[in-house]
Amino acid sequence: MIRISLDAMGGDFGPEVVIPGAAKALERHPDIQFVLFGQQERCLPLLAQYPKLKEKSVFHHCDVAVAMDEKPSQALRRGRYVSSMWRSIEAVKTGQADVVVSAGNTGALMAMAKFCLRTMATIERPAIAAIWPTLSGESIVLDVGATIGADAQQLLDFALMGGAMARALFEVERPLVGLLNVGVEEIKGQEEVKEAGRMLREAGLDTMDYYGFVEGDDLGKGTVDVVVTEGFTGNIALKTAEGTARQIAEYLRAAMSRTLLAKIGYLFAKGAFDKLREKMDPRKVNGGVFLGLNGIVIKSHGGTDAEGFAAAIDVGYDMARNGLTQKIENDLKKYHARHPSSAGPEAA
């Protein structure tokens, strides 16, 4: 049984998306037990519409819901211990749940998760890892927005955590890991990136293979299983990819409706276009994973629908079932046992 805690009030639509999304996820994974936190006047009538979900759920009322535009510091002061977001995270800390999923305010979720769960020993900064569709399948990109800037040791930690996630999600024994850079030559790039590359080459890791530097076009090619960068660059890359996908979809839609001949051609090629639409559907890869915490936290897009939220639950299910936290802890211990001088101060 995988126990998943849900912030029912998170996101642009709250329980109107979270509860139907949970019902969809339950159809795919009957071994899920849900723990829901939210305002009962909005959640319970919806929960009653899904008898199977209600049977597999425990509901806890919370008066406070964190707003999507609330500053993290304000949300932490106002919602600590009482909000649906905090209590859903706390369920992981107390062992009521194996993973928490929220579509809520990203900054507030990260602040509360760090405060409640704490970072793992030797990890200075958590990272947000995104699942990235590629020509060869899927890859993992991190960090996509948790922190701005990173030194060489932090980039190496991201590589270790991303590699552990790839083993948990893709079930590959030795994932291929690359560092995002402005060129593949070793002389190019910022000093922190070049130093991280040297450290990864010399690390002698048996849990992953270091590929070297990768460039922006390698993200879509799927050159490596894990692409490592810092949050500023990663977030821009993520938003650019999402915008480009929407742009291409609009181009296709306009082209297919421009003339009668184009409309007829679309009817003949409808199957191919349906497959393309499914491949480009951002809901299919919804769910950012907070790495480096003492617990699994999944961030869903705030504006997603029930299908997208169910996909985020799917990610959390896979991470819990395959022991993501334990894999990261083991990989960090192995590395720092070989390189004791690299271990940073333990999180308070």
pLDDT tens-digit series, residues 213-245? 999 999 989 999 999 999 899 889 888 887 887
pLDDT, residue 319, reads 92
Q: Are 34 and 313 in contact (CB under 8 A)?
A: no
Structure tokens at 155: 């980039």
pTM for this model (two decimals) = 0.88
Domains of the chain, first to last = 1-120+292-317 (3.40.718.10), 124-289 (3.40.718.10)
pLDDT tens-digit series, residues 305-324? 999 999 999 999 999 998 99
How large a percentage of the chain has pLDDT more than 70? 94
pLDDT at 261 over 50: yes
Residues 6 or more apart in contact with residue 48 via CB below 8 angstroms: 54
pLDDT tens-digit series, residues 54-93? 999 999 999 999 999 999 999 999 888 999 999 999 999 9
pLDDT at 290 over 90: yes
**Angle of CA points 60, 7, 99, to nearest 5°:** 100
Q: Cα-flanking dihedrals φ and ψ of residue 176, to 5°? A: -90, 125
- Greater confidence (170 vs 176) lies with 176
Query: 149: alpha, beta or left, given left = phi > 0 and alpha = psi -120 to 50?
Result: left
Q: Cα-flanking dihedrals φ and ψ of residue 99, to 5°? A: -160, 150
pLDDT, residue 342, reads 63
Give the pLDDT band (50/70/90) at residue 135. confident
- Greater confidence (17 vs 255) lies with 17
Q: Output Rg (C-alpha) for the chain, integer angstroms.
A: 21
Locus of tokens 């929960």: 47
- Greater confidence (2 vs 346) lies with 2
Q: Are 58 and 64 in contact (CB under 8 A)?
A: no
Residues 6 or more apart in contact with residue 263 via CB below 8 angstroms: 256, 257
Span 17-40, average pLDDT: 96
pLDDT at 348 over 60: no
Least Cα distance to 142 among 123, 119, 166 occurs for: 166
pLDDT, residue 345, reads 47
Alpha-carbon separation of residue 40 from 45, 78, 119, 136, 295 (angstroms): 8, 19, 32, 44, 26
pLDDT, residue 281, reads 65
**Angle of CA points 298, 226, 334, to nearest 5°:** 85
Give the pLDDT band (50/70/90) at residue 278. low
How large a percentage of the chain has pLDDT more than 90? 61
pLDDT at 45 over 60: yes
Give the pLDDT band (50/70/90) at residue 296. very high
The 8-class DSSP code of residue 345 comes to: P
pLDDT at 264 over 70: yes
pLDDT, residue 282, reads 66
Span 175-187, average pLDDT: 89
Does an H or E element contain 331, and which?
helix 324-338
Alpha-carbon separation of residue 63 from 9, 78, 85, 222 (angstroms): 10, 11, 11, 44
pLDDT, residue 262, reads 76
Distance CA 13, CA 9 (A): 8
Give the pLDDT band (50/70/90) at residue 157. very high
